[in-house]
Structure 1
């Protein structure tokens, strides 16, 4: 799927995939429990973007309760990686930068765009959710209850909390052009509320789309199911499974690429 000679490399804390003639840069942040190896968990999606000319900087992170600290750390790693690439493969030439986030990665891009001075041509936010810690982590309820018996004022929550996050975005989010994507079978998605908030802040600059799929649709290494020398019923089933599994992901890829550059051939 990659162009010849284009391979994943670890550069200053991020995983990088740079095509021979990049047209733009994508800073990718994944979901909470799959973000430690984005070059694996989001391989097909990211390689499709790279194949269309987008230099990928996928920054891994480990989830904690302090989301502000995570946002600051991934931005710092991104800046270090970009500086190194400018000294090597990108050669200091200007390229627009887009942020793409999935699930918790959306919240991190929203915090980056609200708390820090960054230049972005736009952000793509896929399957946004902004749950409280109690709703997002099943063990937090038990953990918090146990300590509340020792201290009635004790509570566990993400920083910033869902309410604080919404307030920050409503007041300080700087990225004007945004694509918001939700899936038809995603029970933990909160994109609708975010769409209303961003459309109020930037009227006419926010596009929201609902695609067929679920919260895990963006995931998927590019498994290659190939038929043997003799085509068997098992080969037919395997090819059908691959076609169905990637149909929704392919639609997502086309949607992102069309928004990034409506005039580019897909």
Structure 2
């Protein structure tokens, strides 16, 4: 499988896909998701899901970004069907977001009539602009600077209007800017029994990990090779666990 650029999306299409995953990344790494989240997204595609990763550039107006990435995604789907890269309509569509990407999927699910089989929300945060962007705190003392919607408005939108019933929430034990616990309380009240919360080892950057290839040295597997493979497993343990949780939630019966 090779990455394709389709209608401003980056796309991976496996043979006979069984579902579609719409991916949105974090605020400062979202402009090239096929590079910054490459390993994780390719693992999802290898399990039979078409991946459509929509780039975006961050601004204060998150509502407009949500609208634009939704339109870009839908344009990409139509082009995929028109060119027969996707042949079967009606495949289940899942949203998957990291950090700000979670907020955008939550806005899409609250403001627009979209059909989603579920959303995967990794490392959600909903901080005010002064807590998220360098120098904004100094500017806000001179002029009002805030995200649209504000954090309070965002929570009310999710509480009152969010329509995607099945959700996987993932938080990492060393993530100092995660606000998944508050989101879980809101969603669990709205959709009792349909929201899964998983806490994994790792930090806010874990989904950005790239699995490096450490080949065996020489023709014989030596103790040095065994040590290098063990070190690799330790380094990428949290990333592998994230992959397993995502894939098992998408299809609990599939081996991963």
Alignment TM-score > 0.5, same fold: yes
Q: 2 CA distance for matches of 1:63 and 1:236?
A: 43
Q: 2 CA distance for matches of 1:32 and 1:93?
A: 31
Partner of 1:19: 14
Q: Which moved more, 1:191-200 or 1:232-241?
A: 232-241
User: Per-residue deviation at 1:241?
Assistant: 3.9
Q: 2 CA distance for matches of 1:202 and 1:209?
A: 17
Partner of 1:191: 180
User: Per-residue deviation at 1:236?
Assistant: 6.2
Instruction: State the superposition RMSD in angstroms.
Output: 1.6
**Which structure 1 segments of 5+ residues have no match?**
1-5, 149-153
Asked whether the equivalents of residues 103 and 126 of structure 1 are also in contact (C-alpha less than 8 Å), the reply is yes
**Which structure 2 segments of 5+ residues have no match?**
none
Matched, 1:261 2:255: no
Matched, 1:250 2:240: yes
Q: What pairs with 1:117-196 in structure 2 (closer than 5 Å)? A: 117-145=113-141, 148=142, 154-196=143-185
Partner of 2:59: 64
Deviations 1:96-143 (A, max 9, x none): 000000000000000000011100000010000000000001210122
Please report the TM-score for the alignment, with normalisation by the length of structure 1: 0.91
User: Per-residue deviation at 1:93?
Assistant: 2.7
Partner of 2:37: 42
Please report the TM-score for the alignment, with normalisation by the length of structure 2: 0.94
The 3 A distance-change label for structure 1 pair 36 and 232 is farther
The 3 A distance-change label for structure 1 pair 237 and 135 is farther
Q: 2 CA distance for matches of 1:188 and 1:233?
A: 40
Name the SS for the 1:138 alignment partner: coil
